[in-house]
Amino acid sequence: MEYKQTRQGYVDGLLELATENPELVVLDADVAKATKTENFQAAYPDRFFNCGVQEQNMLSVAAGLALEGFLPFASTFGVFATCRAGDQMRNSIAYPNLNVKIGATHCGISTGGDGASHQSIEDIAIARSFPNMTVLVPGDYEEAKQATKAAAYHTGPVYLRFGRDNYPIVKDIHGSFEIGRAKSLRSGTDITIITTGIMVSEGLAAADDLQHQGYSVRVLHMPTVKPLDTEAIISAARETGGIVTAEEHSVIGGLGEAVAGVVAESYPCHVTRVGVMDTFGESGQADELLDKFGLREKDILLAARKILKDKDH
């Protein structure tokens, strides 16, 4: 299997957008090496602004640039964008509905060695709670590039979520990218697995396993957490009667709760959320942490089997 960084997909997407969009500018907050925006800086030094360790100022500055007709991509780690600069994201950007894109890297538990202070596992919850905000959570390098481009051509604020590590390239998700539209990866009638972000590879592996055991498994990949593809969710609830969600994020406020909310209101069925339980992370290698915090194929399988068993009774 080939592995690549989603943050690299972000900056490669920006580089591809740059010629066609002269109003595109990139901001960073002293993490340009880590977010990879240094590649953009090297190519377009006059369109890159390093704001120093000032995430709050950076997001409000981005709002100001948008007001003057620019297309700013403000880049920093997810935990800083949403927690340190949450007010600026809300009041400078989301409330006035400005055309600012927030490129958040180092999201999720797989950020690794830096530990809990840097592991953004609440950012989807925060970002999706702001009106006007679109939330994109791509699953691999290629989809990260797609999401970055889709964000550029979407008018309004977008929160783009990328990781730090190398993640599997998943060819199944390389079809066309449309904001708000789930990608249907497997059709099935016994159960549905809904993934977002890098959990797509684990979700597909779990689906294949169940398939071998004779189950018909639907897999939906949702690189857009907001606006949610409610139609796909309701169909899945109606036609498969059970859903497992999988995300590299807290089970509080993320994809799982969003899906559960739609299901509860429209077509109640069993929903199990696979994600980080209500706990902070810790230092470790990405792989070790994904194991430890229950973000693996086996965790999805366990949840799916329980639903299937309950359905049999």
Partner 1 sequence: MTDTSTIDQLKTKAREIRKEIVTMVHRANSGHVGGSLGATELVVALYYHLMQHQPQHPEWPDRDRFILSKGHCTPVIYAVLADCGYFPKEDLKTFRRPGSHLQGHPYQPKTPGIDASTGTLGLGISTGAGMALGAKLKHQNHYYYIICGDGEIQEGQAWEAAMFANKYKLDNIIAFVDRNYLQTDGNSEDIMPLDPLRPKWESFGWRVAEIDGNDFDQIITTVEEAKMQKGRPTMIIANTVKGKGVSFMEHEVSWHGTPPGKEDYEKALKELSYGI
Instruction: Find how far residue 55's CA is from the centre of its chain.
Output: 20
Do 14 and 73 meet the contact criterion of CB atoms below 8 Å apart?
yes
- Minimum gap (Å) between residue 94 Cβ and partner 1: 11
End-to-end Cα distance, the chain: 39
**Residue ranges binding partner 1 (CB under 8 A):** 25, 49, 51-52, 54, 56-57, 60-70, 72, 87-88, 91-92, 95-97
Amino acid in position 208? D
- By beta-carbon proximity to partner 1, the closer residue of 63 and 198 is 63
- Minimum gap (Å) between residue 120 Cβ and partner 1: 21
- Minimum gap (Å) between residue 67 Cβ and partner 1: 5
- Minimum gap (Å) between residue 64 Cβ and partner 1: 2
The C-alpha atoms of residue 242 and residue 53 are separated, in whole angstroms, by: 45
- By beta-carbon proximity to partner 1, the closer residue of 58 and 269 is 58
Do 120 and 106 meet the contact criterion of CB atoms below 8 Å apart?
yes
The C-alpha atoms of residue 95 and residue 303 are separated, in whole angstroms, by: 38
- Distances from the Cα of 262 to the Cα of 62, 111, 229, 235, angstroms: 33, 30, 10, 11
Q: How wide is the angle at C-alpha 49 spanned by C-alphas 46 and 52, nearest 5°?
A: 150
Cis peptide before 227 (omega within 30 of 0): yes
- Minimum gap (Å) between residue 54 Cβ and partner 1: 4
- By beta-carbon proximity to partner 1, the closer residue of 51 and 102 is 51
Give me the catalytic one of 16, 55, 178, 239: 55
Handedness of CA 218, 224, 226, 228 (dihedral sign): negative
- Minimum gap (Å) between residue 108 Cβ and partner 1: 27
Residue 265 designated active-site: no
- By beta-carbon proximity to partner 1, the closer residue of 103 and 256 is 103
- By beta-carbon proximity to partner 1, the closer residue of 56 and 184 is 56
Q: In the chain, which residue ranges form alpha helices assigned H by DSSP? A: 6-18, 32-35, 38-43, 55-67, 78-79, 86-87, 123-129, 141-152, 200-212, 230-240, 255-266, 286-292, 297-312
- By beta-carbon proximity to partner 1, the closer residue of 60 and 201 is 60
The residues facing 218 across adjacent strands are: 192
- Distances from the Cα of 237 to the Cα of 4, 198, 200, 209, 293, angstroms: 33, 23, 19, 21, 27
Question: Would you name the residues annotated as active-site residues?
Answer: 55
